[in-house]
Chains A and B, each alone.
Chain A
Amino acid sequence: MPIDLTKIKPGASGTVVSLQGGRGFTLRLTNLGIRPGVKITKLNAHFWRGPITVRLGRANLALGFGMASKIMVELDTKNE
């Protein structure tokens, strides 16, 4: 079952399955490498619905809580 990025634990990884947003949103994320099919690891979640930091390949990214909640991830089995 895919869940959104805000709901997974820091340190867990999975595969992005879909982006639940409009064209502009999808484009901005895709540009930074967040798109269906890529492996993603959640690094941290900051307090009070603050930004989420993730690792994609060798790159680290930060994105807002709202954006993270629109990214659906299928967790790797070893995390479960």
Chain B
Amino acid sequence: MSEARKRIIQKILLMGNPNVGKSAVFSRLTGARVVISNYPGTTVEFMQGYMKLGEQRPVVIDVPGVYSLEPTSRAEEVAIEMLDQGDVIINVVDATNLERNLYLTLQLLQRQIPVIVALNMWDDTRHKGITIDVKKLEQIFGVPVVTTCGLTGEGIKQLVERLPQAHAPKKAPCSAQKCWDEIGIIIAQVQKLTHRHHTWLERLEDLSIQPLGGLVLAAAVVFLSFSLIRFLGEGLINNFFNPFFENIWLPLLYRFSAVLGGKGLLHYVLIGESINGQIDFGVAFGLLTTGLYVPLAMVLPYIFSFYLVLGLWEDLGYLPRFAVLTDNLMHRIGLHGYAVIPMILGLGCNVPGALATRLLEGRREKFIAATLMAVAIPCMAQIAMIVGLVGARGGQYLGIVFGTLFLLLVFKGILLNKLLKGRSPEILTEIPPYRLPQVRAVCKKLSLRVVGFLKEALPYVLLGILFVNILQALKIIDALAAVFSPVLQNIWGLPKEAISALIVGFLRKDVAIGMLGPLELSTKQLVIGSTILAVYFPCIATFTVLLKELGPKDMLKSAVLMLITAVIVGGLLNLILPF
């Protein structure tokens, strides 16, 4: 033991099956704020944080979940390769699913590296009628076993205290069958199950994956979610953000404008164009006017309400069930049901959506999922702007924009599925139990995402606006407009000035759509412009992630597909829209 004390621990790995609470434990150990959700595969990136351990500050790594040390996918392979780098492994185990979890534990105990077991979800064992003899388990394994609750932080202190006692018993390797037999014997010794009645949450679990009842419920969930997002988003805009900008911010700006003398370069950059001395937040395009109004008053309320609603479903554990129910439909577009999760995340922001395509098995699925998302899944920032701008002309036009995008998703999916060699693999997933979302956990995740949005979006939005102002001042926009006017005017029926929106769209889609505002477009042009901006290319943040995930070759293919799609879809809309 004294020898163990002296050992310097520099790198701690958290390893365990998917969805056992590794991220929750990670966040407790390090204080780092990470996304924690109730479905397997929430963590697709390696998360790093530092914890306090006596005098030392070792790094803790939250490794994506694996079921065993024999990889079944590239993502698992990467996770398992991490193993050799750690000084200690905290093996996080779901105490309510002990038998399955112990397979990985046994494999870890055969390695050279010290292990400590965290028996997580300990709070859940009580109401599930599971009793586990922890002392006995500790004896059998010969390593410390600590009961924890990632949600409340119970047991984390003991985990840290006993961390230096972790050690490597170097068990003899066993064949899969032998290991499972051994686990069977261990379970018989340490675990007792008492029968108890089904809770209402479990009844709901059963209902929500029933073929018919489940689909009806899913339709209700989707409808309810979008209604709630719209209601909350609009409510926040009308009752809070708009009044703030109109009544408090605007008067300040008028004074500031007067101080600046009402014109000049600085006035142009900061306040933008004022018409007859009037400042219109949608038209001015200065950093302090449109630059703040778009991200804060138009987009933020929707980001907030979207992530609030999403967070509730995530924490409840609804997403994997939705995946099972949509499996059939997703196969038609070359994917399986679980691919619906990256898509849903993409509705918030395409970046985490693109990262989540790592959940999918092969190159084919990743390519299809990424391409479809980039083309047909607008992010919430974009949706908010479209709702704001196009919605002002009438709800039916929103229907046209989003309906077009949906049809595009379906057609392009069917097409890719037909054209690309191979078939979509089948779904295989655990369906976690429902857990009632905890207010604190939901708020924490929401604030993490909202702050993330502000940090990501604000600089880019301001940069984007500055960028167009400069291009405009240097007359570069005019030159580009002349070059691209054939496509813009003849195929899409847009004024050539719309080129500036397309340029800014590479940086931020929300600003880009905002730029259609001052162009005084007809409703038809606005509908076409918004649709094209959603389709033609991902924003730079998404592009960077996609490039990394797909590799240059597939990204190039995907990008060509996007551009072609944009030309065709814009052209078709221009031909067929009757108004």
Taking a contact as CB atoms under 8 Å apart, the answer to whether B99 and A33 are in contact is: yes
A22 CB to nearest B CB, Å: 12
A54 CB to nearest B CB, Å: 10
Residue of B whose beta carbon sits closest to that of A46: B211
A28 to B70, CA, bound (A): 9
Q: Which of A1-9, A55-63, A72-80 is near enough to bind chain B?
A: A55-63
- Contact flag A24-B72 (CB < 8 Å), given A32-B430, A61-B430, A64-B428: yes
- Residues of B contacting A62 in the complex (Cβ-Cβ under 8 angstroms): 209, 320, 323-324, 327, 337, 427-429, 431
Taking a contact as CB atoms under 8 Å apart, the answer to whether B97 and A51 are in contact is: no
- Contact flag A44-B210 (CB < 8 Å), given A31-B103, A32-B67, A50-B327: yes
Taking a contact as CB atoms under 8 Å apart, the answer to whether A33 and B100 are in contact is: yes
A43 to B67, CA, bound (A): 23
Residue of A whose beta carbon sits closest to that of B181: A37
- Residues of A contacting B180 in the complex (Cβ-Cβ under 8 angstroms): 30, 35, 37
- Residues of A contacting B425 in the complex (Cβ-Cβ under 8 angstroms): 64
- Residues of B contacting A60 in the complex (Cβ-Cβ under 8 angstroms): 205, 209, 430-431, 433
Taking a contact as CB atoms under 8 Å apart, the answer to whether B72 and A27 are in contact is: yes
- Residues of A contacting B429 in the complex (Cβ-Cβ under 8 angstroms): 61-63
Interface flags, B308-335, vs A, CB<8A=1, else 0? 0000000000001001110110000000
Taking a contact as CB atoms under 8 Å apart, the answer to whether B327 and A53 are in contact is: no
- Contact flag A31-B72 (CB < 8 Å), given A43-B206, A63-B426: yes
Asked if B176 is an interface residue, CB under 8 A from chain A, the answer is yes
- Contact flag A67-B211 (CB < 8 Å), given A43-B206, A58-B97, A59-B100: no
- Residues of B contacting A45 in the complex (Cβ-Cβ under 8 angstroms): 211
- Contact flag A31-B68 (CB < 8 Å), given A46-B211, A51-B337, A57-B99: yes
Taking a contact as CB atoms under 8 Å apart, the answer to whether B99 and A46 are in contact is: no
- Residues of B contacting A28 in the complex (Cβ-Cβ under 8 angstroms): 72, 428
A47 to B214, CA, bound (A): 12
Asked if B23 is an interface residue, CB under 8 A from chain A, the answer is no
Residues from 93 to 136 in B contacting A, C-beta threshold 8 Å: 96-97, 99-100, 103, 128, 130
> Of residues B68, B103, B430, which shows the largest number of chain A Cβ atoms within 10 Å of its Cβ?
B430
Asked if B449 is an interface residue, CB under 8 A from chain A, the answer is no
- Residues of A contacting B128 in the complex (Cβ-Cβ under 8 angstroms): 58
- Residues of B contacting A37 in the complex (Cβ-Cβ under 8 angstroms): 180
A18 CB to nearest B CB, Å: 13
Taking a contact as CB atoms under 8 Å apart, the answer to whether B209 and A43 are in contact is: yes
Residue of A whose beta carbon sits closest to that of B99: A57
- Residues of A contacting B325 in the complex (Cβ-Cβ under 8 angstroms): 46
A21 CB to nearest B CB, Å: 12
Asked if B496 is an interface residue, CB under 8 A from chain A, the answer is no
Asked if B336 is an interface residue, CB under 8 A from chain A, the answer is yes
Residue of A whose beta carbon sits closest to that of B72: A28
A24 to B68, CA, bound (A): 13
Taking a contact as CB atoms under 8 Å apart, the answer to whether A53 and B431 are in contact is: yes
Taking a contact as CB atoms under 8 Å apart, the answer to whether B68 and A51 are in contact is: no
Interface flags, B416-446, vs A, CB<8A=1, else 0? 0000000001111111010000000000000
- Residues of A contacting B328 in the complex (Cβ-Cβ under 8 angstroms): 46-48, 50-51
B65 CB to nearest A CB, Å: 11
B177 CB to nearest A CB, Å: 8
Residue of A whose beta carbon sits closest to that of B101: A33
- Contact flag A46-B97 (CB < 8 Å), given A28-B72, A32-B428: no
- Residues of B contacting A47 in the complex (Cβ-Cβ under 8 angstroms): 211, 328
Taking a contact as CB atoms under 8 Å apart, the answer to whether B431 and A67 are in contact is: no
Taking a contact as CB atoms under 8 Å apart, the answer to whether B72 and A46 are in contact is: no
B126 CB to nearest A CB, Å: 14
Taking a contact as CB atoms under 8 Å apart, the answer to whether A67 and B428 are in contact is: yes
- Contact flag A64-B336 (CB < 8 Å), given A28-B428, A57-B99, A59-B430: yes
B397 CB to nearest A CB, Å: 35
B99 CB to nearest A CB, Å: 6
B18 CB to nearest A CB, Å: 10
Q: Would you list the 9 A-B pairs with minimal beta carbon distance, nearest first? A: A64-B426, A31-B67, A60-B431, A33-B100, A62-B324, A50-B328, A51-B327, A28-B72, A46-B211
A-B contacts, 24 listed (Cβ < 8 Å): A31-B70, A31-B103, A43-B206, A44-B210, A46-B327, A47-B211, A47-B328, A53-B431, A57-B100, A58-B130, A60-B205, A60-B209, A60-B431, A62-B209, A62-B324, A62-B427, A63-B426, A63-B427, A63-B429, A64-B327, A64-B425, A64-B428, A65-B426, A67-B428
Q: A43-B206, A62-B429 are in contact. List 15 more A-B contacts (CB 8 A).
A: A27-B68, A28-B428, A31-B72, A43-B209, A51-B337, A51-B427, A57-B97, A59-B97, A59-B100, A60-B205, A60-B430, A61-B429, A61-B431, A62-B327, A62-B427
Question: Which of A's residues lie within 8 Å of B, judged by CB?
Answer: 24, 27-33, 35, 37, 43-48, 50-51, 53, 56-67
